[in-house]
Amino acid sequence: MQVYLDNAATTAIDPEVIEVMVATMQNDFGNPSSIHTHGRQVKTIIEKARKTIANLLHASPSEIFFTSGGTEADNMAIIRSIEDFGITHAITSPIEHHAVLHTLEELERIGKIHLDILKVDKEGHIDIQHLEELLQKNPRSLVSVMQANNEIGNLTDLQQVSEICQRYDALLHSDTVQTMGHYPHDLTELKIDFMTGAGHKFHGPKGVGFLYINGKNKIKPFIYGGAQERNMRGGTENVYGIAGIAKALEIAYSHMEEHHTYIQELKSYMIAELSKAIPDIQFNGCIDPQRSLYTVLNVSLPCTEMADVLLFNLDIMGISASGGSACSSGSDIGSHVLTGIQADSQRPSVRFSFSKWNTKAEIDYVVSKLKEICEHD
């Protein structure tokens, strides 16, 4: 059996999305910056996609900017806001994606900002009181906290964070790559300055994402070289990807509730079955359905002798999973997220992440193989 449980790294593209992308490739090849008929037709595709995403998020199309993915969107929001608004102080958590953490650390290294790191509890939830204390000392700051962690799945209450940021006139950026398409976002209710999405996390194409910039914020381009994206990002647009990401988000929203229920049941089932099969298993982060991402489950296994080859053995057994973030899976450095929540470093950890196409039969197979591995340790 082949089982894919690494959906937090990337998801398979939905067949309907592929259809839209192929049709665009075959029929719409003009450059969207060209003023002739072929160019205008392609420009229309981009603007329809922008409007689709904006409508789903209850935003204005003028607030949606297409990028190459979540990493570029995060960098654009952080670097440009700090430069253009004269921000000298930033606040983040120790378990952010490296697209955020490394960017802020580099800005501190070169003397652009002073960076404060929020306290987090053992489940990965940020210390709200600490956030308020830091903002009391430095009101006009940039706060960057992800809505859901990509390795352990803890959820952050962005509404609560946004209310605190508003009180202190702080800018709020959130990496919502893992929640986009899985939870609804109503930007008429959520007062946020910058928010990011990436198509391949919700059954869309790789290499395309978007940045939401609240209309009250005016920043300079991140990439120069052309008037694309209303003078905000130079370079010919990834038209097929843009058509694909809009269709993928549209599908995600139309089936969001049923997929949430189904996938949460799979996750809860795996937690129960693992607890029975491997009694001394540990779950990293939060597993409370109300406070954790339903697509992610991170576990630490007691089979310490197998630590170095655990993922390799799972792969041989036909199981695709991750030891942490896929963006750093080729590194020998341990997970900064698990270090940040002080997880047991002696135990091997595995992240399983689910999609609408996983089944209970697959979960049963994975649990049986994990039990087999631990019994042979």
Q: Which residue has the higher pLDDT, 332 or 96?
A: 96
Q: What angle do CA 10, 354, 73 make, to 5 degrees?
A: 35
Active site residue 165: no
Q: What is the CATH number of domain 15-254?
A: 3.40.640.10
**H/E element holding 329?**
none
Given a cut of 80, whether residue 336 has pLDDT beyond it is: yes
Average pLDDT, the chain: 95
- Classify residue 184 as exposed, middle or buried by CB count within 10 Å of its CB (0-12, 13-18, 19+): middle
325 pLDDT band, cuts 50/70/90, is very low
Beta-carbon contacts of 157 under 8 Å, excluding residues fewer than 6 positions away, are none
One of 286, 303, 327, 374 is an active-site residue; which one?
327
Q: What is the CATH number of domain 3-12+256-375?
A: 3.90.1150.10
- Same CATH topology for 3-12+256-375 and 15-254? no
Quickly list DSSP for 56-98.
Answer: HHT--GGGEEEESSHHHHHHHHHHHHHHHTT--EEEE-TTS-H
Given a cut of 80, whether residue 306 has pLDDT beyond it is: no
Domain boundaries, the chain: 3-12+256-375, 15-254
What is the per-residue pLDDT for 237? 97
Paired residues of 173 in beta bridges = 144, 194
